[in-house]
Chains A and B, each alone.
Chain A
Amino acid sequence: MTDLTSLRYTSEHEWIALDGDIATVGITDFAADKLGDVVFVELPGADSAVTAGDVCGEIESTKSVGELYAPLSGTVVEVNDAVVDDPSLVNAEPFDGGWLIKIRVEGDLPGDLLDRAAYEDLTA
């Protein structure tokens, strides 16, 4: 089980787990609950460049479409094929098996990332 206090968050409901210069990115349980059952995800390809704040993918539920914003800038080094094959992982394990992409971080992290307490305040 992921320690949620070790993650950083965006106001667009992504979470980030940093390990050296590799950031694992997913969407939070709050976002997954709001979307409903996720049935389709479109993620950026490996080796593609992403820019903090830009849309880099889509997450569709039966009811709606959510955009995935890159929470930081860098190069995608890995895509979670398991979640592409079985999008329900986003709902079932948003912080674990439902991770979406890994990004090699380039440059500084955005200054507006939230810690767990600030994210909980945002979604309270």
Chain B
Amino acid sequence: MTDTPAPPRTSPLHDRHEALGASFTDFGGWNMPVRYTSDLAEHHAVRQAAGLFDISHMAEFWVQGVDAAAYLDYALAGRISSMKIGKAKYSLVLAESGGIVDDVIVYRTGADAFLVIANASNRDAVVGAFDTARATWRGASVTEGLRIDDDTDSFALVALQGPAARGILSSTPGVEITGTGLDELGYYAWTEGTFDGAPLFIARTGYTGEDGYELLIEVARAGVLWDAVLAAGESDGVVPCGLAARDTLRLEAGMPLYGHELSRDIVPAQAGLGRVVAVDKEEFVGKNGVSTAPADAPVLVGLVSEGRRAGRAGYPVLHGDVVVGEITSGALSPTLGHPVAMAFVAPAASEIGTDLTIDVRGTRIPATVTALPFYRRNA
């Protein structure tokens, strides 16, 4: 007997995607749109106008109670207790070894309330890490002042990204902003509103390198919100976008993807995320691990090449004739028109400007170490 794998889950917006003619792919156990028409057209729409992504596969945890802030200081790498209400913060869930269990965004929604959005593929791992952290924190003496709820199944999450995002969201019928107005809302902050009478959580965050919003709404209203944003943005050029465009957009923006640039075998400093870890905190999961990580471990770099032939995840990177590392993500950059890649390489080969080569299925392609991100929007 072998276990039959669970069928992939589908988003609350699945019927919309089918009606739009999407192609689907399995991602983190979910059957999600990979593209609707063209990866490149969707990519360019986000850079030049706007794109709408369904990211309902991502996991939402509410962490609440009088001990919530102190608990998250222990359970996550960053200093969460110093966040202001209304702000968002990129953080990491670490293993005791210092390796990365997941990367998350934390939104402080109240003095004693936080929303943590995690990757779909790591939902169970984050639940496990939060449970372990609760069990080991302060000798497990505190439990009443802390409640953690996995509310992933109650919400849909859509991302409206691109320079036209603000105008489109402002003009979407039924969207009322009741908190900080969109014109005053800073990057990595959130505000609240309603859509069609239902609560709407609006975060100015994203995974594309463009300005934009992530919108959290109850499942029952998700389809109507999706339709309304697409209709409101039609004249501005908004298009529905799939995971293929999302991947090339985040790669150009130098943003790591769990399972590629991040894993339990990678400590934050290796991935250029040392700043995310508040090492001066007295106690947090992974503190000993990150402080004892070897200094000669491979580090994440950006690589640029000429031509059109891209290095892909898993391809060896060489310095002279010596293999010094491996690509974790790579593509022909749609915006820049040349190949870009992220790779882990030996520290000695990681200086910006170092000339390396990529073994592209037997052909050596020259590549130069460059600073991340590859693409930065005009502020």
Contacts and interface: CB of A to CB of B under 8 A. Distances in A.
Interface string B305-316: 000111010000
Interface stretch (A20-28, A33-41, A106-114): A33-41
B332 A40 contact: yes
Interface in A1-47: 33-34, 36-37, 39-40, 42
B35 to A, nearest CB: 6
Interface string B214-227: 00000000000000
B361 interface: yes
B38 interface: yes
B310 A60 contact: yes
Given A62-B40, A62-B244, A63-B247, A36 B35 contact: yes
Contacts of B361: 58, 65
A70 to B, nearest CB: 17
Nearest to A88: B40
Interface in A51-81: 58, 60-65
Contact of A37 (B40, B247, B309, B312): B40
A37 B334 CA distance: 10
Given A60-B309, A62-B248, A36 B332 contact: no
Given A62-B248, A62-B331, A40 B38 contact: no
Interface residues of B, number: 19
A65 B312 contact: yes
Given A36-B35, A37-B40, A91-B38, A62 B334 contact: yes
Nearest to B251: A62
B39 interface: yes
Contact of B39 (A42, A62, A65): A62
Interface in B330-361: 331-332, 334, 361
Interface residues of A, number: 16
Given A62-B40, A91-B38, A36 B308 contact: no
Given A63-B39, A63-B331, A36 B248 contact: no
Interface of B (DSSP majority class): mixed
Nearest to B337: A39
B40 A40 contact: no
A63 B35 CA distance: 11
B154 interface: no
Contacts of A61: 39
B156 interface: no
A33 B21 CA distance: 12
B34 interface: yes
A60 B361 CA distance: 12
Nearest to A65: B312
Contacts of A34: 23
Q: Which of A37, A40, A60, A91 has the largest number of chain B CB atoms within 10 A?
A: A37
Contacts of B41: 37
Nearest to B331: A62
Interface string B297-333: 0000000000011101000000000000000000110
Contacts of A37: 38-41
Contacts of A36: 34-35, 38-39, 244
A84 to B, nearest CB: 10
Interface string B28-72: 000000110011110100000000000000000000000000000
A40 B308 contact: yes
Contacts of A63: 34, 39, 244, 247, 331
A33 B23 contact: yes
A33 B244 CA distance: 13
A30 to B, nearest CB: 11
Contacts of B331: 62-63
A87 to B, nearest CB: 8
A33 B35 CA distance: 10
Given A39-B40, A42-B309, A65-B361, 10 more contacts: A33-B23, A37-B39, A39-B332, A40-B309, A58-B361, A60-B332, A62-B39, A62-B40, A88-B40, A91-B38
Interface of B: 23, 34-35, 38-41, 43, 244, 247-248, 308-310, 312, 331-332, 334, 361
25 contacts: A33-B23, A36-B34, A36-B35, A36-B38, A36-B39, A36-B244, A37-B41, A39-B40, A40-B308, A40-B310, A42-B309, A60-B308, A60-B309, A60-B332, A62-B39, A62-B40, A62-B331, A62-B332, A63-B34, A63-B39, A63-B247, A63-B331, A65-B312, A65-B361, A91-B38
